[in-house]
Structure 1
Amino acid sequence: MSVQTTLDIQAIREQFPLLDQSINGHRLAYLDSTATAQKPLAVLEAMDRYYRTINANVHRGVYQISEAATEAYEGTRRTIGRFIGAKSTKEIIFTRNTTEAINLVAQSWGRANLQAGDRILLTVSEHHSNLVPWQLLAAQIGVELDFIELDAHGRLDLSKLDQLLTERTKLVAMTHMSNVLGTINPVERVIAAAKQVGALVVVDGAQSVPHIPVNVQELGCDFLAFSGHKMCGPTGIGVLWARRELLEAMPPFMGGGDMIKRVGLRESSWNDLPWKFEAGTPAIAEAIGLGAAIDFLNGLGMEAIHERERQLTHYAWDKLNGIDGLTIFGPPAAERGGLVSFTLAGVHAHDVAAILDTQGIAVRAGHHCTHPLHDILGVPATVRASFYLYTLEEEIDRLAEALVLARDTFQL
């Protein structure tokens, strides 16, 4: 069976130099893009060009290369705004990653607007980065946490949504796509219901923004967080989008240079948006790299990327379901993004990953920063294979063959 796509996958792979190597005598099959995506030449070259030709701080110099650096840095903000449908670049805040973006919302908006007894609604499948910040806030100010549970197939069980959303619910924070189950959650439905009780909504887009078209106006959310390194960009750069009126009213998250308008010995006034939330020298090269990554993805088309992953996921589903002793967690292939998490009977997830590595196959094994979800699944760890625009069907074939090898090795 061959995966049909409008993308020229071989030409795309040539843009990713890391993929052109061997591990343990085998061609590398990188199946861990959910953790971090590989970087195309366009990103590597954009960052190299910054350091070679315009390495200067932004916003602070009137000399030519500083102004060029500022233009490149702010140019990425405009690129991001168009990519997610923001109304204004003032709504785009650079952070280190999704985790920092969610913490910013919790410690800035949350501490300024919530009080003891208010409720925050989450799901039981959240990544720790969209769970622990709210636990910290609960300990700090006494807010209470509620949770949407899952059905037997890893979908959100929304049958009790009306009961969970009350006048005390002030915020809903949920992932758009599960990093373990691959479930693409019906965030639009939850957002519409949340609005009925006046609750704001934070969407964790770490897994969705790199893989499917995401438009904040169409979603109707109030906050969206995502990371650059999962969408072919560099590490150390992420994004928080929020509605402008919310950001205007929120206090700064961190204090320091560039987030101020004027500083006195005992008090200060804050800079305009978006810089009010960007204290200190920012990740300039990383922001420029993220802009190049988005240009790269736009050049291929997010719809085409999503279709490619959809077809690969169906291919993997059919291939892996035929392996005796292998259990895939989550909904059917048609309802998930480009990943599969599974266990192999009698073999620990870490041992499976180690054997796959001997065959040059890179996957992730563990709890994937979702302890509560794995408790619900009843397993301490899973193996996760994830796909992206450069994944080949033959790599999935190799994965299936290596899993049979792992099973047979431990059954001897």
Structure 2
Amino acid sequence: MTSALDVGFVRDQFPAFRHPETGRWAHLENAGGSYVPRHVIDLLVDLFSHRKVQPGWDFAASRAAAAAMDRARHVMAATFAADPDHIHFGPSTSQNTYVLAHAMRPMWDEGDEIVVTEQDHEANSGVWRRLASTGIVVKEWPVDPVSGLLDVAALDELVTDRTRLLAMTHASNVAATINPVALVAEKVHSVGGHVVVDGVSYAPHALPDVGELGCDVYLYSAYKTFGPHVGMMYTSPALLEAVPHQGHYFNEADPSTRLTPAGPDHAVIGATAGIVDYHEAVASHHGVDGASP
């Protein structure tokens, strides 16, 4: 096992660093996305070049396209420590939350409550705030004006027997803190509510374990973890069974399409597997075994 990181090897995995323009920049605002390693690019090019057909049909290219998507779903599900059937791909995290809100709203009555935080990105707050126009009561979980942190004790008043959902971020890239998701989930579940967690700022630094977190939904964006521009969403089995199907009627038996309203970008989904391929290559180069999810 190599103790020091081989920076040269890592940089060689990213074609952008060999470009005369992009290679000169060091982007410190990872909220804007990350460069893409060759593993992702190679998969994307291969899928567009040789497998750009409707997946799932009985001919070689179609079977290969379906296999590439299935592989991506399985390896990316491992990054959540989740079952592949409980992972949905969408154009972005923001669009995934919009689909989720549309699916969940019929489950609630006028006067039911949602809690959102002042610490969250628009992706996991704006869509829930907009439900106020449909009769939902939206409560704000404020941050401390000095520290920017959330006080869990505030939930004693915010969470009631009419709380149906609490939306929060796993980690704040503004306050530089990791929030106690499991503790919050226990509180909200005690009144029958659901917890939706935005992991976009957390996933670039560590792998979430949705079982340990106890959340009902967990979202993050692949393009901030060396992947293509696509959002991924874990949904708990119980919630997935409870929400009405949002996809095509002929896909109702497939749980992985329950929150996918239309045909997804097959090549982009398949290319997300390159994220794990990249990490495996780095681990292997440094003599680390079993490092990938």
State the TM-score, normalizing by the size of structure 2: 0.88
Residue identity (%): 31
Note if contact 1:119-1:168 (Cα within 8 Å) is conserved in structure 2: yes
Q: Residue 23 of structure 1: CA displacement?
A: 4.9
- Kindly provide the amino acid, as one letter, of the partner of residue 195 in structure 2: V
Stretches of 4+ aligned residues off by more than 6 angstroms: none
Hey, what's the Cα distance between the residues in 2 that align with 1:48 and 1:174? Answer: 36
Shift of 1:299: 5.2
Which residue is equivalent to 1:274? 256
* Aligned match for 2:7, one of 6, 9, 16: 9
SS of the equivalent of 2:150 reads coil
Kindly indicate whether the alpha-carbon contact (under 8 Å) linking 1:57 and 1:281 is maintained by their aligned counterparts in 2. no
Cα displacement string for residues 189-236 of structure 1 (whole angstroms, at most 9, x for unaligned residues): 21122122222100011111232121100100001111111111111x
Counterparts of residues 248-267 of structure 1 (less than 5 Å)? 248-253=241-246, 255=247, 259-261=248-250
Other-structure match for 2:163: 169
Q: Distance between the aligned counterparts of 2:98 and 2:266, measured in 1?
A: 21
Query: Is residue 197 of structure 2 the alignment partner of residue 215 of structure 1?
Result: no
Work out whether 1:139 is the aligned partner of 2:124. no
Deviations along 1:73-100, one digit per CA (max 9) or x if unpaired, are 01111112222111x3211111111111
The aligned residue for residue 114 of structure 2 is: 120
Is 2:44 the counterpart of 1:47? yes
Aligned to 2:231: 238
Q: Is 2:190 aligned against 1:196? A: yes
Partner of residue 290, structure 2: none
Among 251, 275, 280, the residue aligned to 1:293: 275
Deviation at 1:53, TM superposition (A): 1.9
Displacement after TM superposition at 1:180 (Å): 2.9
Q: 1:80 maps to what in 2?
A: 76
Distance (whole Å) between structure 1 residues aligned to residue 123 and residue 240 of structure 2: 21
2-side partners of 1:81 and 1:98: how far apart? 16
Of 97, 104, 108, the residue aligned with 1:102 is: 97
Instruction: After TM superposition, list the pairs within 5 Å mapping 1:289-328 onto structure 2.
Output: 289-297=271-279, 300=282
The one-letter code sitting in structure 2 at the alignment partner of 1:238 is G
Partner of residue 86, structure 2: 91
Helix, strand or coil at the partner of 2:89: strand
8 Å CA contact 1:22, 1:28 repeated in 2 = no
Farther off after superposition, 272-281 or 131-140: 272-281
* Structure 2 unaligned blocks of 5 or more: 287-293
- Structure-2 separation of matches of 1:227 and 1:27: 25
Shift of 1:118: 1.0
Aligned pair count reads: 281
Question: What amino acid is the match of 1:20?
Answer: R
Q: Tell whether the 8 Å contact from 1:155 to 1:183 is kept in structure 2 after alignment.
A: yes
Letter aligned with residue 284 of structure 1: H
SS of structure 2 residue aligned to 1:190: helix
Question: Gapped runs of 5+ residues in structure 1?
Answer: 262-268, 305-412
Question: 1:270 & 1:144 partners in 2: Cα distance?
Answer: 31
CA-based RMSD of the aligned residues comes to 2.2
Structure 2 contact 147–175 (Cα < 8 Å) conserved: no
How much has 1:121 moved relative to structure 2? Answer: 1.1
Distance 1:23 1:90, change over 3 A: closer
Equivalences for 1:308-387 in 2 at 5 Å? none
What CA distance in whole angstroms lies between the structure 2 residues aligned with 1:280 and 1:193? 35
Determine the C-alpha separation between the residues in 2 that align with 1:164 and 1:295: 43
CA radius of gyration, larger in: 1
